[in-house]
Each structure stands twice: as C-alpha cells, then as structure tokens.
Structure 1
C-alpha cells in the first residue's frame, strides 16, 4: 500500500459518523468485466479518494497460466480489491499470495457471476450451492495472506432462494472458512435461462432480506449491492448495512462519486468540478499514450462524466468519433469539453 493510502485509511478509521460501523467500506464500485480496468479505476480515484475500487474479475487460470500481467494496476488506485474467479483452493491461495505480494489491499472471491462461461469453470454464482467448497477456498487464501479475504455473492440461485439457504451459506463460509466480510447482491441468480445482463435486471431486488441478514449476523461486515443509483439511496442503505456497492450507475454516471468523500467520509475539501477532473486526467493520459495505449481505451470510461448536463451528448459524440483515430491525444478531450457551454460552472 502506498504511504498516501495508509494515511487515508488511518484518517478514515479515526472518523466517527453515523453512517456504518466500518468506515473504510462505506462505498465501493463493483467489479465489472470489460469496464473496471486500470484506466477506469484511475479515473474513478480522481473523483473520490476514499471509495473502494475493485478490479474486474480475474480467473486463477489467467493469473497462473496467462501470458499477460493480470495483476497490473496504478499505485494511485488504493484502496484496491482484487476479485478472483475460481474454485480450486490451492490455485486461489497461490493467486491470493501473488496479489498480496503485489500490494493489493484485499482479495474478493466471486460467488455471484451467473454467466455460462463462469459456470463451466465451476465458479461464480453456482458456488452458492457448494458452501463447504467456498469455505475451503476462503480458508486456503486466508492461510497465506495477511490482507482481508471477502466474498461477493447473491441472495440465492435458481430454486434455492429461501432465507434459510442464504443464512446457511453465510454461516458455513464464515464459521468454516473464517470469512468476515460479505457483499450481497440483493437479487438471486438464474443459472440457466437468463443472460448475465438479464440476471442484473429481471430477478427482483430484495433489500429487506439483505438487511435481515445483517441483523442476524451483526458480527460480520456486510455490504449491499444491486440497483443503487443515487447518493440518497446510498445513505439510506447505510442506515442498515456497513457498506454499499454501486455498479453500472457509477460507471455510466461517474460524477455520482463527486460528493462521496465529503458526505460519507467527512473530508473537508471542495467537491471537484467535472472540467477539473478531465484536466486532472491529462498527465495520466499522456503517460499512457507514450507507452502505446490508445486514447479510446481510456476515454471510453469518461463518456458519462457530463451526464444530464447541457452539451453531454456532444461531449460523448466527439470522443466516440475521434478517440479511436491514430495519433489521437488530449486535444480530443479538450475539443469535446469545448462542447459544454462555457458559462456552466461544471
């Protein structure tokens, strides 16, 4: 962890507010495949110092056998959680140890993704039906790392969606595996018949069930995920839960994060303007361009920054039409920002 991240965590631990017992996990951004890459995370970190960031899910096979560096990240991203996909305790332990050595702040096991590809690899939401195996996986990782190991899961799968099934899963994984930190997506998952996208929308949200789970396991740290779109909703959930995880809304409307540090963590600092955030990205973009990164690989994460503002459509269109062109640089973003009416203090 960087010195800055250590200081930030110490400050957060010292702050006492009514919003949750565990200050460092009040808000996090969900791991989203093809979305929350290192460029996205750097961008989100510029908007909020304290929000906990997650990597995309990375499989144990990719880390152990892949040719690329699947653990790469920017030091500025802390506090940062690596989400792992897998079901082999030894392989998960190997990857967790590598991640801890690389400086990750936490390891999270994916027990929530319902895609066919994930099921075929025997990980993701299908593992809810194998609580003992999940406990073994968590235990194996905890034995080799000093950083926290958490689990992200659903409230049920297929017809196994009773409250008893959910509590049995939490009890087994916490007691046998030693897991103390869970994030609960407040929808069940259908392992067949629905696409991953449909599984994020069709199964109904059941927030009261997750609230009850926290009441029945008060000694565990628990966050809630699913359908959260506004700061008011985040604050309402925090009356019941230790943390809130926001997914698509934080990606499509990233300025949602602008007031997080002030409202949830009590930081005494001005809220950043949108233009200020764009300009703060320029040094990072120039460094990445010098390494051979294409502008659109970074700028695509910034498209929603001016959502619901005058000129937002023109901002998105100019970037989408020009950032992919060879040689494109920060001038594309400067030109796109010029589409936002100059009199707006954004």
Structure 2
C-alpha cells in the first residue's frame, strides 16, 4: 500500500467545515521538532498515523519571506493535515509569513511561544514571548488578518509553555491565554512545563522543569470554548489516550521519533483498528523512497527517521546497524531497507 493510499482524505487540504475530520486531527499530533520533523519524517509519520496532525520544524518568519520557499516550505500532499510552525516576534513579518504558508497549502499556522534556546532568546521569540502577551496578541491578530480572504480557512494557533523561569502563577498563565484568545486564537498547544531561560539547555528544558498537566486541564475546564492540546513528557500510547479525557488532543514529541510504533499504536487505537506489522508499514514507504532517490535525494536523509521503528524489539539493534552502515554509501537504494528488515526477522526467529 502506498503512502497516498493510507488514508482516504490524504493528499487534500484539511476542510475546517468537516468537523469530524478536524476534531480527529486534533486528538493526536506530532510536535514540531528541530532537525527532525522535516518532510521525509512527516511522510513516514503519515504512514504510521493516517489521522494525526503533523507539524513542520519551526521556521523563522524572516526565512519564509526572504528564503528558499521550496526548501523551507515544500511538502508532499500526503502530509495533510499538516501545520507550519513559525518563529518570530514582528507582527507584520509574521503576517507575511502566515499568508505565504497558507498559500502554500498548510492547514494551520502555529506561532512558537515555547522554545527556550539561546538563539530564540537573542531574537526575542520563542518562550520569552510568554512575558509579552500583548505582543503575541498583536502578532496573532496580524496573522489572522493576513489569511482572511483566502480560498479556505486556515487557523492561526499558538504553542506555549506554562510560564518562564520561576513564574508559577496560574492567573498569569491564564492572562496570557485570554489576551491571545481575544486576538482571535482559538487553539493552544500547551507544553505543560515552565521554560527556564537561564541555566538549562533546550534538552534539559524538556526534562527538568516539572510537568503540570493539571494547568492544561484547568484551562480547558475554565475556557471550554478553546481547543486545548497538551504536550510534554508523553511517553506511551496509554498516556496519550488518558489525556483525551481532559483536553481536546495529545501531542507526542520525542517518543514519536525514537519509538515511532507508539505513534502508530495510538493512531490505530483512536481509529478503532488493529495496528499493522512494522515491516508492512516500512514497505509502504517504498514508493516514496524510490521517488525521492530518483530526484537525487540520498537514502540517508530518509532512513535516519525510521531507525527507531523496531525500538525495544528483537532485532532492533541489527535493524539500526544495517541502516546506519548502508544508507550513507554511494548508490544506496531500497535494498538497504530490505536487508535491515531481513536482519530483524532473523533476530526475531532466533529469539
């Protein structure tokens, strides 16, 4: 089965008037992750999760306006529903980038108000925007105005933290939400931790600040008209599904990349179908791989995203080893993946 055949609605932009499909795509999503969720990764994730919403890596608004748009924004139609995440803090520039993203066919434009890296702090965007709700509100309003009048509705959403540094005031968090919601944002992806702008690396910021899912749950209770998606520390299918009893959606991050079969199992559970075997899922990627190879894309750029498919399984290490050693060689083709699957099968039989 090809990637395009995975889902009957794949390959078409998300129709926001189709309430059931829109709601389904919110229930499970994959977080934007720098250096990971590129177009090859997203096609693989679409095979694993036909209904999930996918997000690009964060792209700065200035790059969208002035840079190589095909390289930065290009995506395969099978990725729908797919959202573009923007970074930036200048309303006019964000508005331009949002309109460009919508014209390129993205189903959502998301503003990053959660990344804590030094680079985003230096540029006055990302998590430091949690301290400037009025600026975020102005940015969201400008972005919404920029996409009005296009052929289809494209929502502007925000991904945020609970606060920054030692700010543990729920009322301040709600004031941020209310200010941005008043500007027209109806959906918030809440990474349920604070962001520490000093003293912690981006990796530590994903692990050290304590998780407080109860803040996201309370946000949904007190503002039921808003769509709330929770993110941060979700490490299993059971955890993802449990969140859906409190909020509109669960966003998987690192687990979707390091153990992508978890993403598949969660999507299958939500659709009420049996999970497919790992080898079958990988072979469904073959038409895409061969099409990319024909365009001159090196195999290693695709296979780096599938290394975790057999995570925790007999033969998982052999699978990764074959791919790691073979995909970077000149002329590497689909046969490398078949050898990796064969190594995995041999290990499973031996076990």
Q: TM-score category by the smaller chain?
A: over 0.9
1:156 touches 1:187 (CA, 8 Å); kept in 2? yes
For 2:347 and 2:261, the matched residues in 1 are separated by 19
What's the counterpart of residue 168 of structure 2? 161
What's the counterpart of residue 211 of structure 2? 205
Tell me the TM-score normalised to structure 1 length: 0.92
What's the counterpart of residue 287 of structure 1? 291
For 1:344 and 1:159, the matched residues in 2 are separated by 49
Match of 1:277 among 272, 276, 281: 281
Per-residue CA deviations over 1:73-101 (Å, capped at 9, x if unaligned) read 11000000000001111111111111111
Cα separation, partners in 2 of 1:7 and 1:321, compared to 1, 3 Å: closer
**Equivalent runs, 1:175-190 vs 2, <5 Å:** 175=182, 177-190=183-196
Cα separation, partners in 2 of 1:34 and 1:7, compared to 1, 3 Å: closer
Per-residue CA deviations over 1:15-69 (Å, capped at 9, x if unaligned) read 8xxxxx9433001000000000000000010111101000000001211222352
What's the counterpart of residue 248 of structure 1? 254
Cα offset, 1:183, TM superposition: 0.5
1:13 touches 1:24 (CA, 8 Å); kept in 2? no
Cα separation, partners in 2 of 1:10 and 1:62, compared to 1, 3 Å: closer
Cα offset, 1:263, TM superposition: 1.9
Match of 1:331 among 329, 335, 349: 335
**Equivalent runs, 1:114-193 vs 2, <5 Å:** 114-145=116-147, 146-175=153-182, 177-193=183-199
Q: Which runs of 5+ in 2 are unaligned?
A: 1-6, 148-152
Aligned length: 336
Cα separation, partners in 2 of 1:259 and 1:22, compared to 1, 3 Å: same
For 2:48 and 2:264, the matched residues in 1 are separated by 5
For 1:8 and 1:140, the matched residues in 2 are separated by 22
Q: Which runs of 5+ in 1 are unaligned?
A: 16-20
Cα offset, 1:260, TM superposition: 3.3
2:64 touches 2:100 (CA, 8 Å); kept in 1? no
What's the counterpart of residue 18 of structure 1? none
For 2:343 and 2:139, the matched residues in 1 are separated by 51
Tell me the TM-score normalised to structure 2 length: 0.91
Cα offset, 1:144, TM superposition: 1.8
